[in-house]
Structure 1
Amino acid sequence: GDPAATPILLIMGLNSQLIAWDEGFCRQLAAAGNGHYVIRFDNRDIGHSTHFTEAGVPDLQAMIGLAMAGKPLTAPYLLADMAADAAGLLDALQIDKAHVVGASMGGAIGQEMAIRHPERMLSFTSIMSTTGERGLPPPTPEAMAILFTPPPGGTLDAYLPHYAKVWRVLRGPSSFPEDEARDAERGTAVFERGLNPAGSARQLAAIFASGSRKKALGGVKVPTLVIHGDADPLVPVECGVDVAESIPGARLLRIPRMGHALPVSMWPEIVGAIAAHAAAHPGR
């Protein structure tokens, strides 16, 4: 997009590089409405961003045990630190305020931005995310298993079937042939940019240790749109409903058949909703 246009900052989810925001999706968003300057980036511990290797690999199973016992958790960093990264990126780009769009863990990072850095946000769109509140419906067993299955090391040939299986599960029960046909191309791009399983574990530890944002979200004044798929196997739609109910004035868009992914066939609806939300809140 045009750097002089209204900026939209895209924040991606767990173990997902900036290329998880598909270039075609970004081009549609850049062209929508009066035009936008679309910014995507690698979160810490993924892709070409800083890897916190010296922090080691957290014991996720032990963290789950502590969480179930109601005990406090520690992690190398928290989602609040990742929200500060996003605000810092705006500083580096000399952008005062942006429309912020976060998907999955990126939605949780966006929530932390809305809590801690609201002055940097024109609006917020939370996609397939959660407040982190305990008691919400869990992932399906198959999606939970995917979350804790590290990618096979070594070769691209070993990685691609794993990548395809992950997205077959996350897209949910509906078939999306256009996306399935692109899995090899997308998986190759992810592999060639660089995998960081230890970084993914640290990101997951940040999610666990950050806890619930539900109470703090009650004070958020950033205009918020929540988008969630009715068929999400990883973050069930009830989690999106909870986000919308927790943020005053938030609107909820539920999309039938959509799982924990952004299928090509649904880009027009999702892009249109984001662009309309941004247009309704040009300045604060």
Structure 2
Amino acid sequence: MARVTGPQTGGFRHAETFVEVAAGYRLWVEMTGDPERPALLLVMGANASGLTWPDELVELLSRDHFVVRYDHRDTGRSTHAFHERPYPIRALADDAIAVLDALRIARAHVVGMSMGGTLVQLLLLDHADRLMSATIFGSTLIGGAAPDPGISDDDLPGPDPRLLALWAELGQGRDPEAELRWRVEHWRVLNGDVLPFAAEEFADLERRIAAHSGTWRSSAAHALADQSGLERGAELANVSVPTLVIDAPEDPVTPPPHAARLARAIPGAALVTVPGLGHALPRAVVPSLAATITTHTGGRP
């Protein structure tokens, strides 16, 4: 049973708390906006703190929503204990529901990026009654889906080789200066090759995340976690929750047509392209991304 520690919701613009979830894990949670507005839960990708969602994006979304972002297990200020208490990736979807339960949020719009998009697909299958809408981007269709006559597996390219080389170094011991350089280079590749890359913007982000986390050590927990239980793509054919799939045309992790394949697997899903979007969230793309999400959730475009 999830439990909140720290300040409670109600009548504030911004607050932080901790939510205790199963297996002795405590998650850092931040809430922004008016609790009387529709809730919007942001679910980040693998090994990434909730602070990876840009403050500017949270601010724009909070004009129409009560925005919740949080640190997954083994990221940020949440409990780091994977090696003592390992868990499967699918448990992170249960954590998202635990956050809603602890904040007494009956239903929410949910936005998932990268691995967060995988988790949102599981939420669509197991907790549809808790979702007002779903938005997914930077992700791919979970396994086990029925063959698509229009987009075959051979049409789905893998990650950029430059990323594979960087990922081979994930979790290696580096001093803070070297770790910062590695992370900025990682963001450079994730950004894609169309939008200008502002190295100092992402260096500032990583300094904030390190200060927030209290360490420069990178976690590889989600890369090591059990991937079983994700072969459920065929079940998406029964989804009725309004779903938006955002196509990131410059994404080096899940390049086109991954987004189109995912959208085709979910009945009625909309597919909208955000020009220039890669697998990073630079300031240059935040206004168009926020407008795309807000249009889908029924807020101001």
* TM interval, short-chain normalised: 0.7 to 0.9
Q: 2:283 aligns with which of 241, 264, 271?
A: 264
Distance 1:217 1:239, change over 3 A: same
Task: Name the structure with the higher helix share.
Answer: 1
Q: Does 1:97 align with 2:117?
A: no
Q: What amino acid does structure 2 have at the position aligned with 1:214?
A: G
User: Could you tell me whether the CA contact under 8 Å between 1:128 and 1:237 is conserved in 2?
Assistant: no
Q: Distance in 1 between matches of 2:158 and 2:279?
A: 13
Q: Which residue is equivalent to 2:159?
A: 139
| Aligned partner letter, 1:233 | P
Q: Report the equivalent of 2:54.
A: 22
- 2:129 match: 119
3-state SS, counterpart of residue 298 of structure 2: helix
Shift of 1:90: 0.4
Residue number in structure 1 paired with 2:34? 2
Q: Does 1:251 align with 2:270?
A: yes
Distance, in Å, in 2 between the alignment partners of 1:262 and 1:207 is 28
TM-superposed CA distance for 1:233, in Å, is: 0.7
**How many Å separate the matches in 2 of 1:163 and 1:240?**
26
TM-score, scaled relative to structure 2: 0.79
Identity of aligned residues (%): 35
State the structure with bigger RCO (CA 8 A, min sep 6), 1 or 2. 1
Q: Which residue of 1 aligns with 2:260?
A: 241
Q: Secondary structure of the equivalent of 1:125?
A: strand
Worse-matched range after superposition: 237-246 or 104-113: 237-246
Map 1:190-269 to 2 at 5 A.
190-192=209-211, 193=213, 194-195=215-216, 197=218, 199-200=219-220, 202-206=221-225, 208-269=227-288
Q: Residues of 2 paired with 1:186 and 1:55: CA distance?
A: 29
Q: Partner amino acid for 2:188?
A: R
Aligned to 2:4: none
- Separation in 2, partners of 1:126, 1:207: 22
Equivalent pair of 2:249/2:273 in contact (CA under 8 Å): yes
SS of the equivalent of 1:227 reads: strand
Aligned-residue CA RMSD (Å): 2.0
Instruction: Please state which structure has a larger fraction of its residues in strand.
Output: 2
Partner residue in 1 for 2:206? 187
1:250–1:108 Cα change, 3 Å? same
Q: 2:183 aligns with which of 141, 150, 163?
A: 163
After TM superposition, the runs of 4+ consecutive aligned structure 1 residues lying more than 4 A away are none
Q: Counterpart of 2:250 in structure 1: which amino acid?
A: A
- Structure 2 residue runs of 5 or longer lacking an equivalent are 1-32, 145-152
Q: Count the aligned residue pairs.
A: 255
Query: How far 1:161 moved relative to its partner?
Result: 0.6
Greater mean deviation of Cα atoms: 79-88 or 139-148: 139-148
